[in-house]
Structure 1
Amino acid sequence: MGPSETGNGERRAWHRLTVAEQNALTTPGQQRIWQSGEFLAMQGSPPSSMFVIIRGWVKITATNYRGDNAPLAARGPGEIVGELAPISGLPRGATIQAMDEVCAWVITAERLLAVLSRNPRIAMELLRSLAFRLQQSDRLRLESGGTEFPQRLAALLLELALQYDPDWAAASEVVLHQTQEDLASFARVSRSTLIRGLDELKRIGVVKTARHRVTIIRPDILRDLAAGRPAP
């Protein structure tokens, strides 16, 4: 019943749940499909449901009081998203948008709260994931505030790699499903500055780029750059 495109990611709450616990959340339940660009939920909307991503990727963004829209995260198969609003009962604090075709379980707030009241272990696993994501968010803010852009970009890409694949092994490739605009927003630079930084990383064989994605192919060199050491 669970998402099938990933392994049992230890840091993804859904994969830490037993089959019985997954069924408790999704039975009765509904699967829906969204096309690229469609919204699963909007910032400020009622806290009516949460989502378990089965297939595809979503982008989570938020708009501040000045009207600036910024990316917060991208989540893929095996991730639970939108759970904070139903738990808090407050309007949604972020927008969830499909980056490609997305299939997800839609779990109503009523169902979620009823299950959590009877299953404290499920509540604990959601709390563990929230704590991990808070750490990720803090690290992204820290790395995006450095002074030297090449070092800052390398560190930012490493932190995003852990966001996309929480169980990422540092020796393997990882694909970031991000537009250049989103990466520039994360890095707090213009798109042209970001492109120059990515071009330099491509030149030394650290990353490769395609439409809406950056693939880290030499994480060892990227880690050296993030630490302020020159590339070999």
Structure 2
Amino acid sequence: MTIEGRALQDTVIGRELTLEQCNTLATICEQRTIANGQLLFAEGSSSDTLFVVASGRLAVSRDTGRGFSDTLHLLGPGDLAGESGFLDGSPHSATLRAVGDATVLTIHRTRLEGLLIDNPIIVYKVMRAIVYSIREIVRRMNQQQLQMMNYINQGCGRY
């Protein structure tokens, strides 16, 4: 299924690109619909695909080892998923499941690499957007860790 560049404009990637660049990038993207409750990918699986949430929400969860998963975050329209696997093939660190119906745009690594010769600036800006997304994840994790430490310290180490 083909998409238009307008679908990319309101995403982390689209904020880096002009409409013309979004249109060029859209030629290598595919659109995928994920039904409510369906997995986009499972923790531990690998993929060379970058996912861009176009609509809906995706729950990011991790196995607790206690027989259930904890939801860590909700991704919404414009957010990225699968950044590390896209960059280096590492396994996914969490499971992503649709909360309500969702639509994602997919970019396969080899297809993006195909733009390197004629459109290197697009590839550069996509990579910049990925770095921005990863920095936001680290910032959010640091903030949550600080909140947890404050909670523990206020309770004199009891929780």
Name the TM-score class by shorter chain. Answer: 0.7 to 0.9
Q: Which runs of 5+ in 2 are unaligned?
A: none
Higher relative contact order (CA 8 A, sep 6+): 2
Whether 2:113 is the aligned partner of 1:127: answer no
Q: Percent identity?
A: 23
| 1:13, distance to aligned residue in structure 2 (A) | 3.8
Aligned residues: 146
Whether 2:132 is the aligned partner of 1:136: answer no
| 1:123, distance to aligned residue in structure 2 (A) | 1.3
Q: Deviations over 1:59-115 (max 9, x none)?
A: 111225676633232111111211221102112221111011101112213223444
Question: 2:71, 2:115 → 1: CA distance?
Answer: 31
Whether 2:102 is the aligned partner of 1:102: answer yes
Question: 2:23, 2:95 → 1: CA distance?
Answer: 27
Query: What does residue 45 of structure 1 align with?
Result: 45
Question: 2:93, 2:115 → 1: CA distance?
Answer: 23
Question: 2:112, 2:37 → 1: CA distance?
Answer: 26
TM-score by length of 1: 0.53
- Verify the 8 A CA contact 2:51 2:82 in the aligned structure 1: yes
Provide the aligned C-alpha RMSD in A.
3.0
Q: How does 1:139-218 map to 2 (within 5 A)?
A: 139-147=143-151
- Verify the 8 A CA contact 1:49 1:107 in the aligned structure 2: yes
Distance 1:129 1:48, change over 3 A: closer
Q: Which has more radius of gyration?
A: 1
Distance 1:106 1:122, change over 3 A: closer
Question: 2:88, 2:66 → 1: CA distance?
Answer: 25
